[in-house]
Structure 1
Amino acid sequence: MITQGVFIADRYEVIDKVGAGGMSDVYRAKDHILGREVAIKILKQEFSEDATFVAKFRTEAQSAAGLEHPNIVNIYDVGSENGMYFIVMEYVEGITLKTYIEKKGQLNFKEAISIAIQVGRGIEAAHQKGIIHRDIKPQNIIISTEGKVKVTDFGIARAASSNTIHADVMGSVHYSSPEQARNGFVDGKSDIYSLGIVMYEMVTGRVPFDGDNTVAIAIQHLQEEMVAPSAYAPDLPISLEKIILKATMKSPDRRYGTISDMLMDLKKALVSPNEDFVVISESELGQTKVMPRITPEQEDSLTKKAAQALIFDDEYQDEEEYYDDDEYYDDEYYDDEYYDEDEEEDDGKMDKIITISGIVAGIAIVVILVAIFGSRVGLFKFGSKKVTMINVVGTQYEEAKTQLTDLGLEDDNILVSYEDSDDYEDGVVMSQSTKEGDEFSLNDTLRLTVAGDEENGDSSASDSSNQSESKDSNSSSNSSNSSSSSSNKNNTTTQQTPAANTDNKTETDGKATVAVPSVVGLTQAEATTVLDAKNIVVTSTSSDYSDTVPSGQVISQSIAPGEMVAANTTITLVISKGSKEKTYNYTIPNPYEGECTYSIAELNKSGTIPKSGAINISDVTKASLTVTLTYTPAGADGNPDSSQTQTQTQTVQGTAN
């Protein structure tokens, strides 16, 4: 039991308990050797008894101890005593961002960007050291009494993620990336996604996905589109909204490439909040993009402008609300002095270049060694030729095989499966795994689905051979029959090489296999019925828009048609939501000299627009809106003079997405 006055490692005297979480309890203590206050995070008993977790915990904590940055809670020591494992770290007096959001509700855009920039800088420093946080959430972000923002628990999430008794994941799953939800590959883009969710909560006062349990929330991260933050924060600038939307794209390839790229856009958003400069691509996978080069002079200029933009005025701040009861957030933080980075950047630029160069060189060496080893053992084949695939659907298998051989494919490249069909004659190719026009590597396998079963496929080839033999041998039927039989055997052997491989695998595994039917274009109910008949289980479905597949029908399936799988194999389907309805964005500025009110009849929406401000409304299905603006100036006594009220109604045209 840890109580006040207890010494840990004969050095740290516990003062009081300051917090508790799913993994550990946190105490404030005094370091009697260095004479400073520290925070000690002590692992809970169930974690301390897991040897695998403890080993990983110490490794990750020691790695994170190498991080030193103003926006990171520094780790000073890692140790153990009498089976108790602890981390000694910097003590920061303040509150968590979660508490701060709960106290304020919604943060104005300048405040949210300021916090996001500081968190981003801490993440950037960690990524440059090759450390991914994996658990960015408001509970792990501390705002000090001086107004500085620090990120804690770097490296610890990696240890927790591999532990089977992880206790408190409910708070984390709200901010987990889709790849974390499905236990996929996690890199720096996962931290970008989590920071985007944190920013969403800062400006709206709520998380985008919520539910009764972790599974329900994780599924929402994977499948559901989140409500645009401007729906809850109508005054949110379009630049910040699009930064949040880009950071939280479900596909990592559509997010920011690095946290540094995101920081550049956040600085731009401070300087030009209503400028629509954020580009969200449909898909960046496999595309080469030329990015504009940002010179150091441009970055310095942008940083200075962003610092100046952080100075709050009465337009954006209610002082009584802002300072609240405790001065947790000091306005002095927002002055130019804190953001004057010229000296710091000049001193640290060489160290940063050396660090990045070392990381790049290390990665290059590892890649080269892996490539050499892989090529020697046959894992990799370099310089493989690629061809443009042709269409063989609707062609007899033998003819299709000839065409594919002429293209450069060999027997090893072709895997054949058979399936009964009412739409195709026996022996005709029904589908191919690589579409016409797509690139095909000669190291890959092309899967063909042929109508009929394997026996019919063989007999079809045999019949063709018999007819050829009989035309050339009318005078000697016995010889013809013998020749035909030999020809049949040769044809069968040639045609069935891939299928025979599949049969061998089935015998080795001892399991019955079935060919996966194509259910694309069927309704969900029809597709489920067809797959059930083949003993293939539909475990889940997702939905997506399609301009070609009607609503309610299957767009794609997780296993390609014709692939041989074991009975009771699971499959997932993507169901069409039909064509995506065209939507529009609106920016409505305030034309008056003071705050005005607005109302939009079509949306049944109203509110206020600050002086010199504007509102941004996204994803509206109507091409134009009727907007009424009302302004009541102050009279001689300083109170609103209703006799001078001005009203204007205008039709505003939207900008199509």
Structure 2
Amino acid sequence: MITQGVFIADRYEVIDKVGAGGMSDVYRAKDHILGREVAIKILKQEFSEDATFVAKFRTEAQSAAGLEHPNIVNIYDVGSENGMYFIVMEYVEGITLKTYIEKKGQLNFKEAISIAIQVGRGIEAAHQKGIIHRDIKPQNIIISTEGKVKVTDFGIARAASSNTIHADVMGSVHYSSPEQARNGFVDGKSDIYSLGIVMYEMVTGRVPFDGDNTVAIAIQHLQEEMVAPSAYAPDLPISLEKIILKATMKSPDRRYPTISDMLMDLKKALVSPNEDFVQIMEASDLGKTQVMSRITPEQEESITKKAAQALIFDDEYDDDEEEYYDDEYYDDEYDDEYYDDEDEEDDSRMDKIITISGIVAGIAIVVILVAILGTHFDIFKFGAKKVEMINVVGTQLEEAESQLAGIGLDEDNILVSYEDTDDYEDGVVMNQSTKEGDEFSLNDTLRLTVAGDESADNGSASGDSSNQDSKDNSSSSSNSTSSNSSNSSNNSTSNNANSNTNNATTQTPATDSNANTSTDADSSKKVAVPSVVGLTQAEATTVLDAKNIVVTSTSSEFSDSVPQGQVISQSIAPGEMVAANTTITLVISKGAKATTYNYTIANPFEGDCTYSIAELNKSGTIPKSGAINISDVTKSQLTVTLTPVEGVEGTAQTQTVQGTAN
């Protein structure tokens, strides 16, 4: 179980869980090497042993890692540890577009277009690299606290280089294209369809197709015509409505040929929203040559400039609508920047933006070129270089270190511990933490277990310290079968006794040198279990690892006395003597259990109604005969206002609802 304080790959410290998907869970973590917060997506345990799911998870990482764009969540690292597969990505603080739509109900056309353009740019960058997202939906679109829109979760994306790719309908069926619904061929036009559905929801506050189950919704995508968005948004400009309708044509051939073509129409819609310029191909015209209107460079520059201005969310909210902006995500400076409607200031600001953007772009190009050249000539090292591990078990430590240096490891990558044993000669590597053939990051640590006593390696256990300068001589002294073996044994016994006195070791003196050697070997294999209660899991693992005690698993429990993330108990009592590499399990505190409540709020009207909950600053719509479920609320009761939508009989009512304790 992944809990607070757990370290992944000896680098990423888990802070808390921030989300969950169908295949994976997402955690916020601290990268202790680069000192930044990251998000870590970890494949769920039930899928980690399924080769198909693991392959898709790896494909996601490989696809997304090659994408670098301001409107795409960046991928930093990919790896696996003890059968756990994970992806490390950019942590974006903000809210999903789904939450944003739920808070606002409907977005005005300028805001909807500006968000669609940023999403489209991210999709365009992916398509240019042959990657189809396949799961575009508001839940996978994040609006950051800076107002930047980013596409995330390439959960079922694949490089579209094969002509045999077909869709696995794993994304939300509300946004899936007809070809995905029937498991047909998928290309960039499938993402265009999904973006069209997202735009429909932005301007209307609802999805075009809904039903009791996924099959019913999929059939609607295949067979039914959607209600025009203007039916729910009467003020919607004709240009935006036709863009949505063209993007969501059931036949891929009637949609936009590319996302770039769709982006151009979106930019035009910002400049001339009421102009009927969108051309939707009729079914009878399929296969015919179409004459496309050409745009001059001057027109393109004008459209792009005005589109950039409109990317600033300039919705005119009154004081009552400020509730849509949660202080956690939107502060006063953000509001001022994105809601300035004075034309003079916009023009001045846009001139500055264009000038600064040109300078920044120039600097960025230089930096990128320097980075590429520096990386190529190994001047810079971005990220962790990975090598294939070799086998050094059975070799002398010095030789092992030399071989490891040959593949790029230095002394900072190697941690040596010693263990007395009769199975190996002193100084020989008995075990290595990363197996031969496995991938090893040069930011990680390789643990080597070496036969013998560390003091022997330093020459402190020699029979004659003035003549002995290496562990090899110590080995030969202890194993000598020559005629001088008796003297060597006696000297060794004497010096061992002195070593016991000076270094407080646990060897037991004996009159017989052979008996003494046997006792030493047995006692050296035992270690005292330290107490780790009260330490964090990461600290406890470090302390136990230093004693060659292996933490195999952890569980978590609520505790009123032990703070969250600290060890409550350990499976082996402190002070107990155990063999090296003994396994131990820990119980980690989840902190004091807080009482939470669940709520079910039903629609009392004969049609759709809206709801608002003052204590949670939450609002939305409840369909006819429907209800909403709210879980894990810390308040024992809520005040809920239910209002029938226009055209539905009834008057607004306010209720005090009592929660059900968990």
Q: Normalized against structure 1, the TM-score is what?
A: 0.49
